[in-house]
Amino acid sequence: MARTTERQAAGVAVPADESGRRSTSSFAKSVLAEAVRDSAPDAAAAIEAESNWRRGYHRHFVAAAEAGIASPADANGIARRGLAAVAEQIRFVRSGDDRPLSEVMSGAATAGGFDTQVVPATPGDRPTYSVPYGGRDLSNEDLRRQLELWVSDGVIEVGAAEGVEEVLANPEWLDLSDLTFVVLGAGAELGPYPALMGLGATVAAVDLPRPEIWDRLRARAGDRSRLLMPSRDGQAGADLTTDLPELRDWLDSIDGPIVLGGYAYADGEAHLRVSVAQDALIRHAIATRPTGHVSVAHLLTPTDCFAVDEDTAEASRTAWAARPLGLRMTQGALRKLSGDRLFHQAILECLDGKEGYRSAVFDTLVTEQGPNYALAKRIQEWRAIDGRAAGLRVSANVSPSSNTKSVTKNRALAAAYRGAGMFGIEVFEPDTTNALMALLLIRDLRSTTCASDPYTELANPLQLLSDSAAHGGLWRSPYKTRTALPLAAIRGLLRSG
């Protein structure tokens, strides 16, 4: 059970029990159960009865995703109730004072505020765009050909390719000088900051007050774009989890419509807290700015569980059925030797929802990332669904697995990524992911026909999360990801040797 003590708590924190212990497991179980209770009471009861959350959380997140397939009302209701449970329970601790975060966010800040440092825009030509891949910079027809290859290989969904194609067909969309982006976690390896700074946007960047981070961010500034930085005592940066009320006031000082994106990452339970902090700022902006003045953006992980369409589900089922007899026998033997932990079929059946919506939940949860990571990403998904239901434009696309530092420092995951090719999975380099996903973000902000536009009809809100996925091939694999990962890791270790 993940815990922090009362003495250690500072800033955004999960609630303390009577003994002063703060359990992220108890918090996650409570939030997830409340989210699904009205739509799937049996699933809520199972969540509350789970005795080993760290090892058993997978099936409950899958059940929560399945519960949203039944109807649009269920998908929207789960998101709304999940966010409400987070807001009702989460705390904020400062100088020994433990209060509800909702109370803190509606009251006056109690620490020194932030000034604004500015790096002005520099003149430049109309922007062009390319996607670095395999030692080349792909644009126009070269990029189109690569999109076709990725689709045919099952690396990205057709909707992702169509989204990039739409931007290529409308090059004027690449001029972002009319947009202001608030990028929370601007220094994140998989965030849009590098692309935005090259396209003329005004970017309000938030990241930790560490000089090395801001040296990197400043080095990418200019080039037709303007950079705004929160600053205290001459040092740029702020901590989302401990400086939250003061960051709220700083963001309030930015006038006009904004695109508010949450890209911050941290290890372990800190990632849950920073995701809650991001969502608190998004919630505040939506509540206090004029209607239509907030768009929401998140980058989703492929290692979660999502409702995928019938075509994607059938591709996975077909791949399972098409395994050669020798491979089936070998995998069967390995599964038996592993105590039934290896090579589980990813999708057994599709589920029928209302209005002709038919879907299956693909479980790509990875044990090494843990339940705190799963809840942090689910909060982002809930915010996307709830925001769209409220009439906001929302960008929430699944990005491919990428060779980021957070992955490569985990030896097991790094080895699995090196060996993922044996299962038809492509792991991207971060610069390719950044460039590709920024194009989808631009499409989501400009197009009037994509799922991100709240006036585009969807059979189910869950389509927002899956229609333009660039999952690297995970969703068309025949196996549940974590049941194939150990073999990929062994292959990766052999390759590194």
pLDDT on residue 268: 85
Within 10 angstroms of residue 134's Cβ, the number of other Cβ atoms is 8
pLDDT on residue 43: 97
Task: Write out pLDDT tens, residues 67-117.
Answer: 999 999 999 999 999 999 999 999 999 998 999 999 999 999 999 999 999
Task: Give the pLDDT band (50/70/90) at residue 222.
Answer: confident
In degrees, rounded to 5, the angle at the alpha carbon of residue 295 between the alpha carbons of residues 231 and 12 is 50
Exposure string over 451-467, b if 16+ CB within 10 A, otherwise e = bbeeeeebbbbbbbbbb
Distance CA 73, CA 460 (A): 9
In degrees, rounded to 5, the angle at the alpha carbon of residue 254 between the alpha carbons of residues 249 and 255 is 125
Phi first, then psi: what are they for 118, rounded to 5°? -130, 130
Average pLDDT on 342-349 reads 92
pLDDT on residue 81: 98
Choice between 346 and 417, residue whose per-residue pLDDT is larger = 346
Is 367 in contact with 482 (CB distance < 8 Å)? yes
pLDDT on residue 489: 80
**What percent of the chain lies above the pLDDT cut of 70?**
98
Amino acid at 44: A
pLDDT on residue 8: 67
**What percent of the chain lies above the pLDDT cut of 90?**
80
pTM over 0.85: yes
Distance CA 214, CA 142 (A): 34
Q: Does the pLDDT value for residue 7 go beyond 50?
A: no
Please, how many CA atoms are within 13 Å of residue 415, restricted to the half-sphere of its CB? 17
Q: Does the pLDDT value for residue 5 go beyond 50?
A: no
pLDDT on residue 3: 46
Please, how many CA atoms are within 13 Å of residue 104, restricted to the half-sphere of its CB? 30
pLDDT on residue 1: 41
Distance CA 132, CA 87 (A): 40
Alpha helix (H) residue ranges in 111-187? 140-152, 158-169
Task: Write out pLDDT tens, residues 290-310.
Answer: 999 999 999 999 999 999 999
Widest CA span of the chain, in angstroms?
Answer: 68
Distance CA 58, CA 40 (A): 16
In degrees, rounded to 5, the angle at the alpha carbon of residue 436 between the alpha carbons of residues 432 and 439 is 150
Q: Does the pLDDT value for residue 450 go beyond 60?
A: yes
pLDDT on residue 132: 95
Give the E-state strand segments of 378-470 in sequence order.
394-398
Q: Does the pLDDT value for residue 379 go beyond 60?
A: yes
pLDDT on residue 230: 98
Task: Give the pLDDT band (50/70/90) at residue 286.
Answer: very high
| CATH 3.40.50.720, the chain: domain bounds | 115-305+370-403+437-472
Task: Write out pLDDT tens, residues 354-373.
Answer: 888 999 999 999 888 899 99
pLDDT on residue 355: 82
Average pLDDT over the chain reads 92
Task: Write out pLDDT tens, residues 388-442.
Answer: 999 999 999 999 989 888 777 777 777 878 888 888 899 999 999 999 999 999 9
Fold of 115-305+370-403+437-472: Rossmann fold (3.40.50)
